Chains A and B, each alone.
Chain A
């Protein structure tokens, strides 16, 4: 380092962000603290009982399992739909590819409230999809689609698909196109080249995209609330009820910490996986 870059004092650079950072840390520590108090407010001792409570509380446990299955479904579908689009975007330099790219980015800029409302119009009892299905005679009466697991999943896929596509596109775009060509000159058919060259080399993008989508899905609150309307309880909404409606702070905090630990574990596992992939 030269003297030139030492001029700005480190404290000037770090204090603003650190203040906000401390608030975050404080929040997390507070949550952890409450989760091990025997009761809150007005505690008398420490206990791990609330962590056991979570696993014995059918409501919370079910919400937890539903959250995981929701995140799994959303991640898998985002991956399956996102990969071909990312492939198209990474290879195409055409005008069409540019327009598709804009279409992928547009939802990011439109408010989630607007998008949730759009899904209500599409999937409601009086919605477009029901009208089309009744009109075509596929069903005789409108199907109740709102307030279901799958409606929430669709809403979430709509929110997170652009993240997945962006992550995959950047990885696929970085793969040297001559690798697939080299494989072809060595006698490899396109499908084989894809499975043996492109897919392994895009593993990192798949992992990054999946982890982002999975983690964000486990924490979502608005979409299950809006599209589920009380019928699809995920851990986020369950924790909110536990704390604000039941007033059971410690159990809610313990559930929240479990969710956090689970996410951290997942991210840690992912980093190990990435490092292993990187070593090859």
Chain B
């Protein structure tokens, strides 16, 4: 360790302590859910008093959970695909072209990042209501696409900036037509950025609460809202079991990302 960059030992120890505390703070509320899912007690407590799988059974055999899980999955996948396609094209135009109203488009596309989500939620409820899309699958798709598009645009703008424009020109000089350039040059180079945008968008959408809260209805409810509703009436570890399954799925995703592109590289 070089002595100029590192702080004196007192500060270094303090720094290490804060890092440790933050890591515990970030992980503890996630990890504590897992043992609670196996508790025999009908209330959520810790430490646990016995070992059982019955809450998992309860979670898996509850039709609402299954239905809402698959609805959430379907909504997030469709919303992500739309965001990536629309966001990718728009990002390309923002980075490589100059056109009138570019600044406005950028502002509009990125605004939900600063637009309070509750405002967006209520406004969207009215728009979707007047279009007759409330409590429908297309309505949910529209709502989620609006939430995820800014993240997709942002990630893709960054990626397009990192791609040398000369490459496209080189491809053109070599006789490649437009579609060919996109398929053979741009998309392969965009892949890490696309992946990052896709993962972010999937997470955002799967987790979306505020906007969906107003758009969903009976038989058309996403998982986070179904879980929230459940906790309004019950306080048993079924939610822990569902959470444990979700954590397991997240861990699988993290593992897959870490093995393929590297989480750190993806999000930097």
Indicate if A touches B (C-beta under 8 A): yes
Q: What secondary structure prevails in chain A residues at the interface with B?
A: helix
* Interface 9-mer from A20-28, A49-57, A199-207, A272-280: A20-28
Q: Is the CB of A117 within 8 A of B243?
A: yes
Cα of A257 to Cα of B11 in the assembled complex, Å? 45
Interface residues on chain A, size class: 35 or more
Q: Is the CB of B165 within 8 A of A5?
A: yes
Residues of B within 8 A of A236 (CB): 116-118, 210
CB atoms of A170 and B90 under 8 A apart: no
List chain A residues, Cβ under 8 A from B173. Answer: 4
Q: In the bound complex, how far is the Cα of B263 from the Cα of A174, in angstroms? A: 19
* Count of inter-chain pairs, beta carbons less than 8 A: 294
Question: Given that A28-B123, A84-B18, A190-B8 are contacting pairs, would A7 and B29 also be in contact in the complex, using a CB cutoff of 8 Å?
Answer: no
In the assembled complex, the CB of B59 is this many whole angstroms from the nearest CB of chain A, namely: 13
Judged by a CB distance under 8 angstroms, whether A42 is at the interface is no
A219 touches B116 (CB 8 A): yes
Q: Given A85-B19, A221-B117, are A126 and B45 neighbors across the interface (CB < 8 Å)?
A: yes
Q: Are B5 and A109 in contact (CB under 8 A)?
A: no
CA distance A238 to B5 in the complex (A): 48
Q: How far is the CA of A240 from the CA of B122 in the complex (A)?
A: 8
Q: Are the C-beta atoms of A121 and B254 separated by less than 8 Å?
A: no
With contacts A5-B168, A24-B111, A256-B122 known, is A105 near B87, CB below 8 A? Answer: no
**A139 interface hit (Cβ, 8 Å):** no
Most buried by B among A4, A117, A235, A252: A117
Residues of chain B with a CB closer than 8 A to A24's CB? 108, 111-112, 115, 120, 146
A45 and B43 CA atoms in complex are apart in Å by 54
Neighbouring B residues of A219 by C-beta, 8 Å: 115-119, 210
Within residues 158 to 185 of chain A, which ones have a CB less than 8 A from any CB in chain B? 158, 161-162, 166, 170, 177, 180-181, 183-185
Which chain A positions have C-beta within 8 A of B29?
Answer: 115, 118-119, 121-122, 158
Please give 17 more A-B residue pairs, beta carbons under 8 A apart, in addition to A17-B90, A122-B32, A183-B4.
Answer: A5-B165, A17-B89, A19-B86, A24-B111, A101-B263, A104-B26, A106-B254, A108-B267, A109-B250, A111-B207, A113-B224, A118-B32, A121-B46, A184-B4, A191-B8, A193-B4, A240-B122
